Chain A
Amino acid sequence: QQQVKQSPQSLIVQKGGISIINCAYENTAFDYFPWYQQFPGKGPALLIAIRPDVSEKKEGRFTISFNKSAKQFSLHIMDSQPGDSATYFCAASFTGSGSARQLTFGSGTQLTVLP
């Protein structure tokens, strides 16, 4: 099963609040879990990524939490700002020797942070 399920589809948060986006996967061979941020008219940009050997990774206001047993991972945006308003995609992939990192993407979450 290659699918990555992402929720919610849309999210509205007040400025200063915490935004939480969740993803779940089935394929236990996945070994790389990135999050991408996409602004209107722009391509996705890598935001933060995690490997399954750690349960949490933090970069500034962005944190990935990873639960290997539940096959779930989530993005937390602390102190959300209007400039964080964008579409966020989770993804998962695995690589064999010499093979392409085929990213399987979630369907995206449109985040709106109200001023």
Chain B
Amino acid sequence: ETGVTQTPRHLVMGMTNKKSLKCEQHLGHNAMYWYKQSAKKPLELMFVYSLEERVENNSVPSRFSPECPNSSHLFLHLHTLQPEDSALYLCASSHYLNQPQHFGDGTRLSIL
């Protein structure tokens, strides 16, 4: 398997649930990213990890908690989400921080 794989592809959860999104890259990259994509809005960068160390956190609410256990895996832990958090969550990776980013196909998240 190649590229950037995200699971699950779809997730429906209540506001009090706890769930996690998973991203795995098979490209040998060293940097990984979480983005939020909402309808008719620009993609919003949430978090950046380089060599498992978080290097960017763009004012994201604490109900989103990232984890990067190694350079191939990235998680986004979710808890007590709000309806406005419903969106497509995209993971991306790049060889180094300043190299082109390759995106996964995203997790469509719906908050009831």
Contacts and interface: CB of A to CB of B under 8 A. Distances in A.
Interface string A58-84: 000000000000000000000000000
A100 interface: yes
Interface string B72-107: 000000000000000000101010011111111110
Interface residues of B, number: 25
Contacts of B99: 101
A68 to B, nearest CB: 20
A46 interface: yes
A100 B40 contact: no
Contact of B42 (A95, A101, A105): A105
Contact of B103 (A43, A99, A102): A43
B55 A46 contact: no
B97 A103 contact: no
Main secondary structure of the interface of A (DSSP, over half): loop
Interface in A77-115: 89, 95, 98-108
Given A89-B43, A100-B48, A102-B56, A45 B97 contact: no
B56 A100 contact: yes
A107 B98 contact: no
B50 A107 contact: no
B56 A4 contact: no
Given A34-B100, A100-B55, A101-B98, A42 B41 contact: no
A73 B96 CA distance: 25
B103 A45 contact: yes
B40 A95 contact: no
7 tightest CB-CB pairs across the interface, nearest first? A43-B103, A105-B42, A95-B98, A105-B43, A100-B97, A101-B98, A100-B48
Interface of B: 4, 6, 31, 40-43, 45, 48, 50, 55-56, 90, 92, 94, 97-106
